[in-house]
Structure 1
């Protein structure tokens, strides 16, 4: 069952985020088979919101935590904190994953 991971960047870390962005994107591309969704959190004006969301298709919390730990953003010390939550697909890309009604 997938896990949703939300991260919050350390204050004043936009330069650190930009410094490691290319290797972070390479990491995501190399792990694309595990990714249901990923993206930066943004402020309403579209500027950086200081964190990320990941929905990773792995079996265990340990795998989700290992995924995050291997991310170049994490290795650079960008997140101040994160929360990992087990997640159940109901709808994704307009497709229902709910069981049929009896």
Structure 2
């Protein structure tokens, strides 16, 4: 089964204390997915942006990626109040080969 790249956006709640409390578990979970080469890269939006993040995953379907994010501690404790999952096709630029399956 071939894999594709999926762009996931998280919108966080305004509860900064909840984010701080669960950040280490969230990052540990995502690091495990990166070790398995399921997650390519992730990071929060800039300081002047609304709280949230962008994550890029490898997967065979959007449903597979949703299942992975469903176990993210930020999702399970309610830090993430909205998420989108979209297939993404890198075409141009020197970094596009990073995403090749």
Of 1, 12, 36, which residue of structure 2 is paired with 1:9? 12
Length-normalised TM-score, structure 2: 0.81
Alignment of 1:1-102 (within 5 A): 1-10=4-13, 12-32=14-34, 33-44=37-48, 49-91=50-92, 94-97=94-97
- What RMSD in Å do the two structures reach over aligned CA positions? 1.7
* The structure with more helix, counted as a fraction of residues: 2
Bigger-Rg structure (1/2): 1
1:100 matched residue in structure 2: none
Structure 1: how far apart are the matches of 2:69 and 2:84?
11
Contact 1:40/1:49 (CA < 8 Å) preserved in 2?
no
Number of equivalences: 92
Could you list the runs of 5+ residues in structure 2 that have no partner in the other structure? none
Structure 2: how far apart are the matches of 1:79 and 1:95?
28
Secondary structure, aligned partner of 2:59 = coil
Contact 1:4/1:84 (CA < 8 Å) preserved in 2?
yes
